[in-house]
A and B are shown apart, each in its own frame.
Chain A
């Protein structure tokens, strides 16, 4: 290492540092910290539970929300809605790791944009009274009832009308009016 080579290195750092410092000051003023995406989705899930009618709904029994995902996602969802009441029914958030376990929940939320994996969890629950929720790009092929997507930096949800017709649960029009309704033949 000779000295001449150190100079550009130092100069580069100086330039970057000064550019950053300058911008950092101007930015901090208007940058808000947005909440984590899964926290918002958890709030959606809680709202879905309010507008879904299960065929058997014994008063006081928990609405079990199964979550497929990392410990991090499960804990975010749990912190947001676990223990909250829908009427007189408490929400209970449970982590789901086995594909066949999801079918025993009232709500099954499969996180992650992995259509193949999502399908493996959703298919055992198809035809049963489970509100299946995914967040994949290829929603229709997965067979879930509800799918989250991001539009204009906000969370939106779509409902698969084909699956809804066949489903064992009823979804209120108060929820459907906010949904993007999707059918396989006319997207």
Chain B
């Protein structure tokens, strides 16, 4: 066949491009831009529901509980989340404000998820997992793209981006994004949950090449307001419900240079990030964070790949207090510096070991050591086996170190208050993991993982002696001091087969199991934390089917089953999502999506919000 014949042959679409059998000695999972495009999701937290081993629950309009391998909560604090290398967990509670991570899905190149400790490379807080959101470079966003989504829950989502060539070796893109979502349904009522919201963002990115250097610069600005209800406790009046608007604002700028040098590859990255959050009469936080990071991959002979790096992060906050929650001091400056080193040693072409550790210093607990040892073995080109042992820590947040939280007011009046302080030390996990990936047949791919985690020094709330307080009115205060007198064990794993039944039909299934037990130390007076082991679904399963039909029509189906949450009285549920897409012309495409179909509204976590069946339609236009 000559060129003209070859150029007429239609090839397998991008989605069906052959997947590599990854030889990473860790339970990694990648959502590609194609996986995201063909999902029924409209937001980042939503699309994470497709990742095996993650727990994703929508708590209210703007609040999500997301965790890996258990210990979930709205303030889940054992997951590290990065956007283009920028840490987005909040130092105030060591968790993530998911409502402001509203990145346009079209702009995401991939989302990499690593379950289990990643502390040796990523540092503190990567206790149970890392979510790495990587956006497309400007080179992949050339030309004009615009889309409009309208639906019953996501009332309106508008996205527009414009990419251009910014010189001989540089390209740039600018974008704007806006979302308006409806309130969820109120549990036990026919009305809404008063938790609607709006969010807008914009930004730019430039990427270029100069000799042996790749560089990129990007910046985002966002602003949003979310309606939310909360219970207001008072010493003099009964508890009442307040309904007001959470205001959020933020800006960030990040620059990165990746250079090829004689000894290997050097990456230098720096960013500045500002976040602001205000909940009237309750809480406010303004935070400025800056970080500089250096990373050097050294070619150390044929058998070794040596990587080392260093980073320095500084963060300053100004917190506004209320009677319900307060910090002392209200302004704080924290710094974290770290060093890491890792060596991958190839014993034979098929067997390698990775040994590494991060040494990180924080202001509360000093130096923390986070080592890991991993082994990978390629049994045949189609089978890979790995095992790992690692230790990771969750260092104290501002909440653990300096906060006082009013939990309850009883007649008397007597208050129950969580009190942070110096007694609280880092929480520790030691994880034992193993996995197997295989391609038993040409179009079949399967991965198996298993883990056992041992947790030590988990946060406990130790009841202290009652104190008498005279102002504003006389009352008795029962403090619950933050301490580290809980330990626990968890085990579980997952299986994820994937198969291309035909070139036009792919099916995937996932199952994950998590079993968690928490125990008090003998001298612990904690009576609350132990129950939170019932905040996780023991079983989760997902079935997906993707069809490429004639006339550029795509049909995707997702059936997701999530087990009950015993401690929160949340029933198990099955959610069905269906997506119909049609690439009408080169420039135009349309989608119709139904989500949480064929079932009544259901709660996914604590709180009063129920997720309802919903539909949306999307029209997209792009040049090229």
Contact = CB atoms under 8 A, between A and B. Distances in A.
A71 B7 CA distance: 25
B598 interface: yes
Nearest to B551: A30
Nearest to B501: A24
Interface in B4-45: 4, 6-14, 17-18, 20-21
A153 B552 CA distance: 11
Nearest to B571: A5
B6 A23 contact: no
A16 B576 contact: yes
Given A37-B17, A141-B169, A154-B8, A13 B550 contact: no
A11 B598 contact: yes
A36 B18 contact: yes
B423 interface: no
Nearest to A9: B574
Interface in A17-69: 19-20, 23-24, 27, 30-31, 33-38, 40, 43-44, 47
Contact of A178 (B7, B10, B260): B7
Contacts of B503: 31, 33-34
A156 interface: yes
Nearest to A141: B209
B559 interface: yes
A116 interface: yes
B143 to A, nearest CB: 12
A119 B599 CA distance: 52
Nearest to A15: B598
B463 to A, nearest CB: 37
Nearest to A27: B549
A47 B6 contact: yes
Given A34-B12, A34-B503, A43-B1, A1 B572 contact: yes
A33 B7 contact: no
Interface string B478-511: 0000000000000000000000001111000000
B545 interface: yes
Nearest to B10: A153
Residue of B12, B13, B20 with highest tally of chain A CB at under 10 A: B12
A170 interface: no
Nearest to A136: B139
Interface residues of A, number: 49
Contacts of A47: 1-3, 6
B313 interface: no
B557 A16 contact: yes
A5 B572 contact: yes
Contacts of A187: 165
A154 B6 CA distance: 8
B10 A150 contact: no
Given A9-B574, A120-B260, A37 B12 contact: yes
Interface in B565-580: 571-572, 574, 576, 578
B148 to A, nearest CB: 26
A154 B11 contact: yes
Interface string B272-303: 00000000000000000000000000000010
B3 A44 contact: yes
Given A116-B214, A185-B168, A16 B13 contact: no
B336 interface: no
B258 interface: yes
A118 interface: no
B555 interface: yes
Nearest to A143: B209
B547 interface: yes
Contacts of A23: 547, 549, 555
Contacts of A43: 1, 6
17 contacts: A9-B599, A12-B598, A16-B545, A16-B578, A27-B504, A27-B550, A35-B9, A35-B11, A36-B12, A47-B3, A72-B20, A116-B214, A137-B139, A138-B139, A150-B11, A153-B10, A156-B7
Closest 4 pairs between A and B when the two form their complex, measured CB to CB: A141-B209, A178-B3, A71-B381, A12-B598
